[in-house]
Amino acid sequence: MTVEVPDTPELRAFYERLPDYRLAPLWTVLSNLITPVPRSRSQSAHWSYEKVRPLIMEAGDLITARQAERRVLILENPGMPGESRITETLYAGLQLILPGEIAPAHRHTQSALRFIVEGSGAYTAVDGEKTMMEEGDFVITPSWTWHDHGNESDAPMVWLDGLDIPLVGMLDASFFEKYPDEVFPEVRPVGDALARYGSGLLPIGYESHVPTSPVFNYPFVRTREALERMKVANEWDACHGLKSKYVNPVTGDYAMPTMATHMQLLPKGFETCGYRSTDSTVFSVAEGHGRSQVGDTTIDWQKRDTFVVPSWTEVRHFPAEDSYLFSFSDRPVQEKLGLFRELREAK
């Protein structure tokens, strides 16, 4: 039974007196505060790399990485323009680093992920360990770790940044510091973390005191090899094809505390079943091309494109060739708070 909220001159006069007391009536806003299903401000949206790449390169002509600190074009959700967010809780951007450039060392409480879109051989250094980045690699800079980026190759590198900026903002927990020098001193050899923590082995006595994976580069060659090997068994999830989460090898939990990251393989001609979940999800196309139906919106995606699926909006994928989709969302947060829900189309 729905009861209409009355609208009388007496009530209106009453409402006008309330702000002086820093009060407001709940009954005029309740149905917008607590909705029967998520009413996402996010819209489905698609960034064609072919279309945005020229603008990214133009930014490269206009400002240096040093001047900009981070030369990034933010991917703004059209439902929330000017809010520097791709979903309600997450930020995304495309960062460019040109040959010879350095993006100076800093640290912040926001966690960052990078998904490499174009280029080869630039590095991210985390607390003094460099990792060389290749297309399709998933790289982490955990909360409050010093990080700088540099491009020692002879070609531009572009990656997708995913950060929990809106979430941390909502929690009023933002801290930021610049390192006094341009780069943080190199204290460990390249590849140390992956060898030490990402080889199915852990050093005896190792204990982690942070919620983020000690592996901070999950190379695409390894991820791809794993999924190609799994493909042979020909066992597919109807809604996801083959989809695996990146895990923290110490805990088996998500690699990052605030953002879930996954890689999925959708074979040519596969048609996924309808799927919706409460975690608005950002996708980056690592390989292949195809189409996704996101609510009423059809998205034709190519390699290197980004697209976003809002909370509780049904998505179906139609890969036109074997396709690899990287994705990230705030799912770990929702799971820890007991909020995560998903719905698979009954077939």
Instruction: Name the residues that contact ligand GTQ, by CB under 6 A.
Output: 70, 72, 93, 95, 108, 112, 147, 161, 163
Q: How far is the CB of 161 from ligand GTQ (least distance, A)?
A: 3
Phi-psi region of 248 (alpha: psi -120 to 50; beta: other; left: phi over 0): beta
Return the DSSP state at 165.
H
Q: How far is the CB of 112 from ligand GTQ (least distance, A)?
A: 5
Residue 232 CB partners (closer than 8 Å, separation 6+): none
Q: How far is the CB of 55 from ligand GTQ (least distance, A)?
A: 15
In this structure, how many other beta carbons lie within 10 angstroms of the beta carbon of residue 151? 22
CB burial string 61-74: b at 16+ within 10 A, e below = eeeebeeeeebbbe
Cβ distance to ligand GTQ smaller for residue 70 or 196:
70
Cβ distance to ligand GTQ smaller for residue 104 or 214:
104
User: How many residues in the chain?
Assistant: 347
Counts for the chain of helices (H) and strands (E), in that order: 8, 22
Return the DSSP state at 200.
S
Cβ distance to ligand GTQ smaller for residue 45 or 239:
45
Cβ distance to ligand GTQ smaller for residue 53 or 70:
70
Q: How far is the CB of 125 from ligand GTQ (least distance, A)?
A: 11
Q: How far is the CB of 110 from ligand GTQ (least distance, A)?
A: 7
Cβ distance to ligand GTQ smaller for residue 146 or 312:
146
Cα 100 to Cα 165: distance, rounded to the nearest angstrom: 28
Instruction: State how beta strands 315-319 and 290-294 pair.
Output: antiparallel
Residue nearest to ligand GTQ (CB): 161
